[in-house]
Amino acid sequence: MSASIRIPDGFVEELKARIRPSDVIGRKVKLKKQGKEWVGLSPFTNEKSPSFYVNDQKRIFKDFSSGIGGDVISFVMETERLSFMEAVEKLADEAGMQLPKATPQDEETYDRRKRLYACCEAACRFFEDRLRAAEGTEAREYLENRGLGAAAWARHRLGYAPDDWRKTIDHLKAESFGMQEIVDAGLAVVKEGGGDPYDRFRGRVIFPITDVRGQVIAFGGRGLQPDAKPKYLNSNDTELFHKGRVLYRYKDAREAFGSTDAGGLIVTEGYMDAIAMAEAGIGHAVAPLGTALTEDQLGLLWRAGPEPVLCFDGDAAGLRAAYRSIERALPHIQPERTLFFCLLSGGMDPDDLIRQSGPEAMKQALSNSVPLIEVLWRRERDAEPLDTPERQAGLEARLMQAAATIQHAGVRAAYERELKSRKNDHLWQMRRRARGPAGRSDAPVKGAHQTSAPAKTRGLGLLVRAIDSPHLIDVGFEMLSMAVFLDEDVATLRDVIISSPDAGAGVDRRAIATHLVQSGNMRAADLLNSYPATTAIAPDGADEREWLIALEQYVARDDASASGDVAKAEVTASPENWRRRRHEVAEREARVARLNEAAEQTDQD
C-alpha cells in the first residue's frame, strides 16, 4: 500500500536526521573512528587498504575505490538491492517512524496489513519453537538427514507445524489475534458450507516465505509422511502474499549477491535446493513457489542482477521447465537483461549434487552455465528430424518465430543473425557427415532424431566470409587475432588469414587452400574448399557491422577459458606481426567504434 504514496521531502529529511549513518553502515562494514569520520574497507570492491568513509555530521558516505557515495538511503539501496521506496520503508521501521497515510481508508488498510504481518511473524515463532519441542522429533530427523543441523534451522527460520487440527489457531488466539485475522493471513482454512476453521499446515516441516523487506508473509510446508498430499503445500494467496510475485529467500539472496561478482541470482526449483546452496556458501540462490517463473518473478530477478542463472535438473522435466522459462523471458530480454541456464546431469538437483560431490562440484556446474540462446537453439534443433528440406525449413521458421517475440529491436536482430548462423552451420555439418570420408552419401534414416551437439567448427563461416570479402580482415584484424576457436583446424585457418597480407600472399580461397595443403593442413583445406560460396559483403554497410558483431562473441575476455579442446585463451598472432600492426589496430578500433555508433543511431532512427 505504502509504495503508492508519494513521500514528502520533509519526511525523508527527518528520517535521515533520526538515523546515524555509521550505525546502519557499521552492520555491513567494519568501521574505525578516524577524527570526525569513520573508515573501513569498501563493501563494493576487494580493496586491501581502507578508502571507505562515513561522516555522521554530514550524513553521507563515500567509497573512493568504486566512486559510489551518497546518504544512508542510497547505501541501503546499493548493498541490499532495494528500491528507494523499499529502503525508506526499512529505515523508517528502524527509526520508529510511520509512513505518511493519504486517507483514513489508507490508514485502515495499513493497520490491517500490519496486524497480518504480526500474525505471520507470531506463527513463524510458534513453528520454530515446535521444531525444537518433543513433537518435532520426526521433523528434526528429516532435516538432519538432509544435512541441516540446528544452526541451519535458525539461519533459515525452519519450523514444524504440529499434526493437529487447531493447535496453531489456538496459539495465535492466545496471542490476541482474531479468527478472521488468522484466516486472512492464510494460516487457517474455512470449510465450504460452514463449520469451524482448521489449521492449514499440519504435520509438516515449515519454510517461512518473506517479502523483499524480509517480513514473513506466508509459509511453505513439506509433508513428512510418504503419502502426504500434496507433498509441498504453500499458503493461499492473501492480502500480503501472491505466489507469482514472490521468490523464496529473495531478500537474503539479494544481500548475498551484493558481495559476489556473479551476474545475477541463481534460481533453483525448490526450498531445499535454495537452502542447500546457501549452506554451501552460494548464498544468492532463490526458488519460485512450485510454479513456472512468472513475469513478476523475472522482474525481481533482473532488479538484482542482469544475468540470473536458472538451475534445473538435466532430465526431461528439467528441460521442460527450462523451455517454459524461455517462453516467458524472451519478450522481455534486453542488452542488460537475459538468462543463463545450468542443467545438471544425471537427474540430480543442487541438493543432491552438493551432498554427493560437495560445494565445489556445484560451483563448477554453475561456471558451465549456458546462455538463453543456446537452450533455445537446442530446443528447436532437437524438436524433430532434419532429414528433409521441409523439416529444415521448419527449423528456420521456428527459430525466427521465437526471435520475433523479442520486443527489443537490437536484441531481436542479434538473435535472428545468430540463430540463422547456427542453423546454416549445423545443416552444413549434416551434409558433410552424410557425404562421409570418401564423399559417399550416407543419408539419415527417415525419422531419425538429430541430437548432435552444436558444430565443433563453429566460427568457420565467419572466416570464410572474411576470405570471400578480404576487406573484413583489415576491419576486424584485432578481433580475429584474439578470437578463440575450439577446432584446431579452424584456428589454423584463422592464423593463415591474418598472416597472409604480411607474407605478400593473396587472400582468396585458392591461395589460402594451396598454402594449407603445402603446410600439411589437409583437413583445414578441406573445410575451406567444401564450404558453400558466400555473398560478398560491401565495406561500411550493415552486413559488415553484423559480421563484426558476430565475430565479437569469439573474442576471449581476460578470464576466458574453455573446457575440452581449449584450456586457455590466448592471442595466436605472432609477436612481430602484433608489434608492426599496433598502430593499424588503433585505427581499426576507432573505425569499429564509428560503425557501432552509426548502428546505434540507425536503431534509434
Say which DSSP state 483 is in.
B
| Domain boundaries 104-241, CATH class | alpha beta
Give rounded-to-5 percent helix, strand, coil for the chain: 50, 10, 40
| pLDDT for residue 566 is more than 60 | no
Sheet holding 370-371, edge to edge: 285-286, 266-267, 309-313, 340-344, 370-371
Place of cell 523439416: 391
As a dihedral over the C-alpha atoms of residue 376, residue 380, residue 381, residue 385, rounded to 10 degrees, the angle is 170
- pLDDT tens for 366-382 read 999 999 999 999 999 99
- Using CB atoms within 10 A of its CB, is residue 511 exposed (0-12), middle (13-18) or buried (19+)? middle
The amino acid present at 586, given as its one-letter code, is A
pTM, to two decimals = 0.65
Query: Where exactly does CATH 3.90.580.10 map onto the chain?
Result: 2-95
For 207, the enclosing helix (H) or strand (E) is strand 204-210
Nearest to residue 44, comparing CAs of 74, 21, 22?
74
| pLDDT for residue 92 is more than 60 | yes
- pLDDT tens for 112-158 read 889 999 999 999 999 999 999 999 999 999 999 999 999 999 999 99
pLDDT for the residue 573: 35
Rounded Cα distance, 77 and 396, in Å: 44
- Using CB atoms within 10 A of its CB, is residue 117 exposed (0-12), middle (13-18) or buried (19+)? middle
Q: Which CATH code fits 250-379?
A: 3.40.1360.10
Residue 584 or 553, more confident: 553
pLDDT for the residue 97: 85
pLDDT for the residue 163: 93
3-class DSSP assignment, residue 243:
helix
| pLDDT for residue 439 is more than 70 | no
Contact 64, 51 (CB under 8 A): yes
CATH of 2-95 given 3.90.580.10, 3.40.50.300, 2.60.40.10, 3.30.70.260: 3.90.580.10
- pLDDT tens for 489-536 read 888 888 888 877 654 456 788 888 888 877 778 888 888 888 887 888
Query: Phi first, then psi: what are they for 218, rounded to 5°?
Result: -170, 180
Q: Give the residue-averaged pLDDT of 465-493.
A: 86
Rounded Cα distance, 467 and 469, in Å: 5
At 436, is the pLDDT very low, low, confident or very high (cuts 50, 70, 90)?
low
Q: Give the residue-averaged pLDDT of 306-322.
A: 87
At 316, is the pLDDT very low, low, confident or very high (cuts 50, 70, 90)?
confident
Rounded Cα distance, 548 and 28, in Å: 44
Query: Where exactly does CATH 3.40.1360.10 map onto the chain?
Result: 250-379
b/e 374-389 (16+ beta carbons within 10 angstroms → b): ebbbbbbbeeebbbee
At 446, is the pLDDT very low, low, confident or very high (cuts 50, 70, 90)?
very low
- % pLDDT > 90, the chain: 42
pLDDT for the residue 554: 84
Rounded Cα distance, 497 and 460, in Å: 12
Which residues are CB-neighbours of 203 under 8 A, at least 6 positions away?
161, 162, 163, 223, 224, 225, 228
pLDDT for the residue 595: 53
3-class DSSP assignment, residue 448:
coil
3-class DSSP assignment, residue 222:
strand
User: Which bin fits 413, alpha (ψ -120 to 50), beta or left (φ > 0)?
Assistant: alpha
pLDDT for the residue 598: 52
**DSSP sequence for 552-600:** HTTB--TT---STT-SS----S-HHHHHHTHHHHHHHHHHHHHHHHHHH
| pLDDT for residue 340 is more than 70 | yes
pLDDT for the residue 584: 46
